[in-house]
């Protein structure tokens, strides 16, 4: 599941999934509806998603608040769900110490220019 408000970012995330063979199914939701979408997913599938990709730009203002809310969800299982971050900004907001404490497995940096974007899809 990709949690991001930007349609283009969702498209990029899907290509990352396919390019690196990370997941075969994708579901996209915006940040405001993330917890409701997780509830729906759990009801329909009987389990929590295997992978959540969260846009770090949403979380930078509130720290990693959304990730904390996800981890407190009744369906979340530490050993069954991987959390990845998606960002186009590599600066002070990408706190590697905090990422380590959150047990986040992947950080994907979105292409910053058109050539990098093209390379992702070749």
- What confidence tens digit (pLDDT) does each residue in 2-44 have? 777 777 777 777 777 777 777 767 777 777 788 888 889 888 8
Nearest-angstrom CA–CA distance, 32 and 24 = 25
Distances (CA, A) of 87 to 23, 37, 38, 74, 81: 19, 21, 21, 27, 20
- CA 34 distance to own-chain centroid: 11
pLDDT at 34: 81
User: Which domains does the chain show, CATH number per domain?
Assistant: 2-120 (3.40.50.2300)
pLDDT of residue 63: 45
* Residue 23 to residue 87: CA distance in whole angstroms: 19
Q: Count the Cβ atoms, other than its own, within 10 Å of residue 101.
A: 10
Q: Which residues contact 79 (CB under 8 A, 6 or more apart)?
A: none
pLDDT value of position 95: 62
**pLDDT above 90 covers what percent of the chain?**
0
The pLDDT confidence band at residue 58, using thresholds 50, 70 and 90, is: low
Q: What is the average pLDDT across 64-72? A: 79
pLDDT, mean of residues 84-90? 69
Please state, rounded to an integer, the average pLDDT across all residues of the chain. 73
């Amino acid at each position: 599941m990709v949690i991001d408000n930007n349609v283009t970012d969702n498209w990029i995330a899907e290509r990352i999934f396919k390019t690196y063979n990370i997941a075969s199914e994708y579901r996209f939701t915006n940040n405001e509806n993330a917890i409701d979408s997780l509830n729906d997913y759990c009801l329909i599938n009987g389990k929590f998603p295997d992978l959540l990709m969260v846009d770090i730009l949403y979380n930078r203002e509130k720290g990693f608040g959304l990730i904390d809310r996800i981890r407190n969800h009744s369906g979340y299982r530490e050993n069954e769900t991987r959390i990845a971050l998606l960002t186009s900004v590599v600066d002070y907001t990408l706190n590697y110490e905090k990422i380590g404490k959150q047990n986040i497995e992947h950080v994907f940096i979105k292409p910053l220019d058109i050539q990098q974007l093209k390379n992702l899809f070749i």
